[in-house]
Amino acid sequence: MKNTLRKLSILAAVTVPLVFSGCTWFNDKPPITTLENPTRSRTLGDYEVNGKVLAQQVCATCHGLTGQSESPMFPKLAGQQKDYIVVQLKDLRDHSRSDKYAIVYMWGMARALTDKQMDELADYYSAQTPMYGEANHSTSAQAQLKRGEDIFNNGIPTAGVVACSGCHGAEGAGMAEIPRIAGQHSDYIMKQIHAYQNPEDKALMEMGGNTWAPKMYDLHRNLERGAAMNAMVANMAPEDVQAVALYLNTMNR
């Protein structure tokens, strides 16, 4: 028994210094990826995680590895304007941008991001191959696509709807804080236009099943930022919204 205890004491004396020296080594040298130091997020003095690492190991779950998300619940970020991404992340961090998905997913994600990480995330996504859509060659879709193209390029003068291309560019690529919309999910675009058309709309939403009390949440972006869009899409009929959303999705296909 005494021999066993003696061996364990010797093992501990050798192992503990090695463990602590290992942690010190890791924390003195910033890892390229989180896999090189799995304890980094649990140790004081850890290096700030780079935006590219966050994009590939966290954000990719919803937005895709290169920003080409599969689900229309989550917008495509590939090739998005850098300034636009930074602004939206800051609005999500301070809760001035909100919708039912942002509250569940993005408020928690954005609250711990530093300005530097936001800038790095924006650099990563803006450098990716621009978002692309899917072609729809069905006969029923062709009339919608033609209508959507006309609205994008010319607006609806009789309804006071201006051309989308006037702000988002002839190719839908956007500029600075004006987002790229070419190739975006059509369902996502329709959801956003609906939010702009109903800036005061709210949704009753219960977080966590029956655990949390229901709360009223805004369904729109920061009202000040959305003021221009609120007016531009106010008079679009549902069929026009759908047509332009379908057309935008087919751009960059």
> Looking at residue 42, what is its pLDDT?
43
111 and 145: one domain?
no
Query: According to the model, what pLDDT value does residue 28 have?
Result: 46
- Give how far Cα 178 sits from Cα of 161, 163, 166, 167, 218, Å: 18, 14, 11, 7, 22
Q: Are 58 and 109 in contact (CB under 8 A)?
A: yes
| Beta-ladder partners of 215 | 205
65 and 118: one domain? yes
According to the model, what pLDDT value does residue 27 have?
43
Q: Over the stretch 179-231, which tens digit does the pLDDT of each residue have?
A: 999 999 999 999 999 888 887 765 544 443 333 344 555 544 455 677 788 88
Residues 119 and 155 in one domain: no
Residue 196 lies in a domain: yes
In a domain, 193, yes or no: yes
- The predicted pLDDT at position 203 comes to 57
- Domain extent, residue 81, equals 28-126
Strand blocks (E) in 11-108:
none
DSSP letters spanning 166-206: HHH-TTS--BTTBPP-TT--HHHHHHHHHHHH-TT-EEEE-
Please provide the average confidence, as pLDDT, over all residues in the chain: 79
In a domain, 19, yes or no: no
Q: Show the tokens assigned to 146.
A: 């033609």
Whole-number Å distance between alpha carbons of 34 and 63: 19
Residue that is last in its domain, among 93, 126, 159: 126
Strand pairing category for 215-218 and 202-205 = antiparallel
145 touches 243 (CB < 8 A): yes
Same structural domain, 96 and 181:
no
Contact 79, 129 (CB under 8 A): yes
**Residue 130 identity:** P
Q: Which of 19-28, 126-135, 179-188 is the most confident on average? A: 179-188
We report the CATH number of the domain holding residue 87 as 1.10.760.10
pLDDT in tens, 62-77: 999 999 999 999 999 9
Only one residue has tokens 């729809």, namely 136
Please state, in angstroms and rounded to a whole number, the distance separating the CA atoms of residues 97 and 84: 13
Going by pLDDT thresholds of 50, 70 and 90, the confidence category of residue 1 is low
CA dihedral sign, ordered 33, 80, 226, 230: negative
Q: Can you tell me the distance from the alpha carbon of 143 to that of 238, in angstroms, rounded to the nearest whole number?
A: 15
Last residue of a domain, one of 80, 95, 126: 126
Q: Any idea which of 50-59, 103-112, 174-183, 234-243 has the lowest mean pLDDT?
A: 103-112
